[in-house]
Structure 1
Amino acid sequence: MTELPPFYDDLAGCLAEAWRRLEEGAAHQSGFHTPALATLGRGGAPRLRTVVLRGVDRAARALRIHCDARSAKAAEIAAEPRAALHAYDAGAKIQVRIEGTARLHGGDEVARAAWAASRPMSRLCYGTAPAPGTPLPEGGAFVLPEDEAALEAGFSAFRVVILTAARLEFLYLARQGHRRALFTWDEEGQGAAWLAP
């Protein structure tokens, strides 16, 4: 029989484990490194894509990802800031779903700090022409920045997305019985409850 983790029947422990896994994901140390981000498209339909989790601030309930100002993702967040994030680690059998409000940062201190901490390889994306999602006549019909000046010019298209959690669901899959917990934050404070899996 598999030993159950300490958070199994502990609500506070489930929340701590969710944030720990997210922090590890931002540090490239867990399956939570590349979660899926959902936004609302211009026509109201959901849009989903894989993103790279770049930072987590547990105290602020904030998750940081990066995007291109020219992308549909940035336009969707600017038009409708409600967003959701889904992360699953198959090895740990843990799923975390977060719903909240996303905020774009461009050209400010938040963006400058994130840009400075980014690797040159990551910065390449923001100087690529044409813009993300532009139809191409063939797969390789785009241009990457060729020198340091062109690479740095990509900062104008660089955006930081900060998703602040208003709702977090934690699911642990176990043969002995799954555990699912819900955590919410609003003007009245924090709520926590078990849910049927």
Structure 2
Amino acid sequence: MTDQPAFYDDLAGCLAEAWRRLEEGAAHQSGFHAPALATIGRDGAPRLRTVVLRGVDRASRTLRVHCDARSDKAAEIAADPRVALHVYDAAAKIQVRIEGRASLHGQDALARAAWAASRPLSRVCYGTVPGPGTPLPAGGAYALPEDAAAGEAGFAEFRVVVLTAARLDFLYLARQGHRRALFRWDGEAPAATWLAP
């Protein structure tokens, strides 16, 4: 039998591995860097898009991504904060799914700190005219800020999305037998259990 990772038959180890991978993803060091975020559309249908994981705090069970205030994503979160996040690292054979609630932060201390830590190339996106999702007559019929000062004006549209995990589903794929675990913080006390893969 092939050696298994330390977390293989350890619930607490699975949770620690999930958070470790998420932290590495936020630091651009793993396949967890670009998860998919699901929101509930204004029509009640699910909406899914790739986001960039910008920060993780396992103590508070929060994950941070950024978005444009003019985007459907921001409007959907403002209308219904229930969200889900999915990430799969094919090399590690690990999938993590998180369900929870998201909050939007704009022009507050959290947004200012995230903006200051962002690369100039990332900041430019928030100054694009017209805003995300606007129909265009041609593919290139939008304008980017012309200089750094104009790019800084994009801060008005910059939003930080903070997802607080209520449930985390961890799946490790292994030839000898998969391992799946569920962690919950949405009841009276935290709970953890193995699940059939």
TM-score > 0.5, shorter chain as reference = yes
Match of 1:169 in 2: 169
The number of aligned residues is 197
CA RMSD between the two structures: 0.7
Q: Find out whether 1:84 has 2:99 as its counterpart.
A: no
Structure 1 gap ranges (5+): none
Deviation at 1:187, TM superposition (A): 5.1
Which segments of structure 1 move beyond 6 Å, counting only runs of 4 or more? none
Structure 2 gap ranges (5+): none
Match of 1:71 in 2: 71
Match of 2:17 in 1: 17
8 Å CA contact 2:88–2:96 kept in 1: the answer is yes
Deviation at 1:186, TM superposition (A): 2.9
Deviation at 1:188, TM superposition (A): 1.6
* TM, length-normalised to structure 2: 0.99
Letter matched to residue 60 of structure 1: S
Deviation at 1:147, TM superposition (A): 1.4
Match of 1:146 in 2: 146
How far apart in 1 are the matches of 2:54 and 2:2? Answer: 33
Identity of aligned residues (%): 81
Q: Output one character per residue of 1:138-196: Cα deviation in whole Å (capped at 9) or x when no partner.
A: 11111000112211100000000000000000000000000000000035221000000
Q: Output one character per residue of 1:34-77: Cα deviation in whole Å (capped at 9) or x when no partner.
A: 00000000000000000000000000000000000000000000
8 Å CA contact 2:170–2:180 kept in 1: the answer is yes
Match of 1:190 in 2: 190
> Secondary structure at the residue paired with 1:189?
coil
Match of 1:116 in 2: 116
> Secondary structure at the residue paired with 2:56?
strand
How far apart in 2 are the matches of 1:179 and 1:147? Answer: 51
